[in-house]
Structure 1
């Protein structure tokens, strides 16, 4: 995935979670759902 696309997804999720207290795992799960994958972003080669 291109970095630009990943940044767009993160921005979308930031808006969704704005004002809510979440942890990294919740954010990772939401990102996996958006990307339709089960691979954790923390275990991947994404440069974030």
Structure 2
């Protein structure tokens, strides 16, 4: 999940530091939820928390 989030943000022209922050937050979302399938975060969900 981290890798995918990192690549998406980098491909959108953001700096590596911003991409890393986004990827870290994306990876943190699933541990706050009970079910694996529904725990995967959406781009907008994480982006709004930055």
TM-score band, normalised by shorter chain: 0.3 to 0.5
Structure possessing the higher relative contact order (Cα contacts under 8 Å, 6 or more residues apart): 1
TM-score by length of 1: 0.37
TM-score, length of structure 2 as denominator length: 0.36
